[in-house]
Structure 1
Amino acid sequence: MSVFKHGVRPLSRRHSLAAMFVAGAGLTALLGAPAFAAEADLVLFNGKVITVDKAFSVQQALAVRGGKIVAVGGAEVAAEYTAPVRIDLKGRTVMPGFIDTHLHVIPLAPRQVDILGAKSIEDIKALVRAKAAALGPGEWITGYGWDEALFTEKRNLVKADLDQAAPNNPVALTRAGGHSIAGNSLALKIAKIDKVTADPPGGLIEKGPDGEPNGIVRERNSLFLDHVPAETWAEMKGPYIAAMRKLPPLGITSFHSASTSIDDEPVGAGGLANSGAGLTIRRLQEIQRDTDHTLPRVTAYIAFPGEARMKAFGRKSGDGDEWVRVGGIGEMPVDGGFTGPTAWTLADYKGLPGFRGKGRYTDAELQAIVDASARNGWQMAMHAIGDAAIVQTVNAYAKALDSYPEVRARDHRWFLDHFTIMPADATMTKMADYKVRIAQQPNFLYNLEGRYRSTLDDWRLEHNNSVATPSKKFGIPVAFGSDNLPIGPMVGVYAAVTRKGMSGEVIGPQEAVSIQEAIRAYTEVGAYLSWEEKLKGTLEVGKLGDMIVLDADPLTVDPGGLRDIKVDLTIINGKVVYERGLSRP
Structure 2
Amino acid sequence: MAGARIGKGLWGGLIAAALALPASTAWGKEAVDLILHHGQVITVDRAFTLKTAVAVKGERIVAVGGEELLEAYSAPKVIDLAGKTLMPGFIDTHLHPKPVSPNDIAVQDAKSIVEVQAMLRAKAKELGPGKWITGYGWQESNFAEKRNLSRGDLDAAAPNNPVALLRAGSHSAAYNSAAFKIAKVDKNTPEPATGLIERGPDGEPSGIIRERMDVVSKFIPDPGWDAMRGPTITWLKQMLALGITSFHDASGTIDDEPVGKGGTDSKDLDPLWGQSNMTWKRAREIYAAMGDQLPRITMYIIHPGAERLKAFPYHTGYGDNHLRLGAIGENAVDGGFTGPTAWLLADYKGQPGFRGKGRFTDAELQELVDSAAKLGWQLGLHCIGDAAIVQTIKAYHNALNAIPDPVHGPNDRRWFTDHFTIMPPEDTMATMAQDHVMIAQQPNFLYNLDDRYSALLDDWRLTHNNAIATPVKKFGLFMAFSSDNLPIGPLVGLYAATTRKGPSGAVRGAEEAVSRQEAIRMYTANGAYLSWEENEKGTLEPGKLADMIVLPFDPLTGSAETFLTAKVDMTFVGGKLVYQRPVSGKKVALAK
Which TM-score bucket, shorter chain as reference? Answer: over 0.9
Query: How much has 1:33 moved relative to structure 2?
Result: 12
Q: Which residue does the alignment assign to 2:498?
A: 497
Please show how residues 387-466 of structure 1 align to structure 2 within 5 Å.
387-406=386-405, 409-466=410-467
Q: Does the 8 Å CA contact 2:112/2:142 hold for their aligned counterparts? A: yes
Q: Read off the aligned partner of 2:190 and give its amino acid letter.
A: A
After the TM superposition, which of the residue ranges 433-442 and 220-229 deviates more from structure 2? 220-229
Question: What CA distance in whole angstroms lies between the structure 2 residues aligned with 1:214 and 1:409?
Answer: 50
Kept in 1, the 8 Å contact 2:405–2:413? The answer is: no
Structure 1 residue 272: deviation in Å?
2.1
Match of 2:3 in 1: none
Question: What is residue 91 of structure 1 aligned with on the other side?
Answer: 83
Matching of residues 359-398 of structure 1 within 5 Å: 359-398=358-397
Residue 267 of structure 1, CA deviation: 1.8
Deviation at 1:227, TM superposition (A): 0.1
What is the rounded CA distance, in whole Å, between the counterparts of 1:232 and 1:455 in structure 2? 38
Counterpart position of 2:480: 479
Q: Is the 8 A contact 2:333 2:383 kept in 1?
A: yes
Match in the other structure for 1:534: 535
Shift, 1:313, TM fit: 1.4
Give the conservation status (yes or no) of the 8 Å contact 1:552–1:566: no
- What per-residue deviation string (whole Å, max 9, x for no partner) do you get for residues 224-276 of structure 1? 21001122211110010111111111110000001011122222211223582
Give, in whole Å, the separation in 1 of the partners of 2:243 and 2:63.
22
User: How many residues end up aligned between the 2 structures?
Assistant: 553
Distance verdict in 2 for CA 1:48–1:34, change over 3 Å: farther
Partner Cα separation in structure 1 for residue 225 and residue 204 of structure 2: 37
Instruction: Summarize the alignment of residues 95-494 of structure 1 with structure 2, pairs less than 5 Å apart.
Output: 95-273=87-265, 276-291=275-290, 293-406=292-405, 409-494=410-495
Distance in 2 between residues matched to 1:289 and 1:41, nearest whole Å? 24
The 1-side partners of 2:205 and 2:41 are apart by 55
Q: Distance in 2 between matches of 1:504 and 1:450?
A: 12
SS, match of residue 578 in structure 2 = strand
Q: How many angstroms does 1:129 deviate by?
A: 1.0
More displaced stretch, 117-126 vs 371-380: 117-126
Which string of whole-angstrom CA distances, capped at 9 and with x for unpartnered residues, describes residues 53-109 of structure 1?
A: 000000010011120101100111122222221100011100000000110100111
Stretch moving more, 59-68 or 269-278? 269-278
Q: Is the 8 A contact 1:34 1:80 kept in 2?
A: no
| Paired letter, 1:335 | D
CA contact (8 A) 1:34 1:79 kept: no
Question: Which moved further from structure 2: 550-559 or 282-291?
Answer: 282-291
- Partner residue in 1 for 2:17: none
> How much has 1:386 moved relative to structure 2?
0.2
SS in 1 for 2:314: coil
8 A Cα contact 2:375 2:405, kept in partner = no
- The answer on 1:35 being equivalent to 2:27 is yes
Please list the CA deviations of residues 477-535 of structure 1 after superposition, one character each: whole Å capped at 9, or x if unmatched: 11000000000000000000000001011110000000000000000111111111111
Offset, 1:155: 0.5
Change (3 A) 1:38 1:213: same
Look up the match of 2:272.
Answer: none
**Offset, 1:406:** 4.5
Note if contact 1:550-1:566 (Cα within 8 Å) is conserved in structure 2. Answer: yes
Instruction: Name stretches of at least 5 consecutive residues in structure 2 with no aligned partner.
Output: 1-23, 270-274, 587-592
**Counterparts of 2:364 and 2:282, CA distance in 1:** 30
Quote the residue 1:575 is aligned against.
Answer: 576
Task: Show the counterpart of 1:9.
Answer: none
- Match for 1:303: what amino acid? I
Please tell me the residue identity of whatever aligns with 1:197.
T
Moved more, 304-313 or 517-526: 304-313
Which residue does the alignment assign to 1:25?
A: none
Mapping for residues 15-94 of structure 1, pairs under 5 Å:
35-94=27-86
Does the 8 Å contact 2:373/2:405 carry over to 1? no
Q: Which residue of 2 aligns with 1:29?
A: none
Aligned partner letter, 1:144: Y
5+ residue gaps, structure 1? 1-31
Q: Match for 1:494: what amino acid?
A: Y
CA drift of 1:289 comes to: 3.1
Which deviates more, 532-541 or 271-280?
A: 271-280
1:281 and 1:324 in contact (8 A); partners too:
no
What amino acid is aligned across from residue 66 of structure 1 in structure 2? G
TM-score normalized with structure 2 length: 0.91
CA distance in 2, matches of 1:363, 1:429: 20
Task: Indicate the residue corresponding to 2:14 in structure 1.
Answer: none
- For the residues of structure 2 that align with 1:539 and 1:231, how far apart are their CA atoms? 41
Q: Which letter does structure 1 place at the counterpart of 2:414?
A: R
How far did 1:292 drift?
Answer: 5.0
Structure 1 vs Structure 2: percent identity of aligned residues?
59
Alpha-carbon distance in structure 2 between the residues aligned to 1:247 and 1:497: 23
* Distance of 1:406 and 1:248 partners within structure 2: 35
Residues 205-242 of structure 1: CA deviation (Å, up to 9, x unaligned): 00012211001000011112100112221111001011
Q: 1:405: how far off?
A: 4.0
C-alpha contact 1:45 1:89 (8 A) present in aligned 2: yes
Alpha carbons 1:33, 1:79 under 8 Å: kept? no
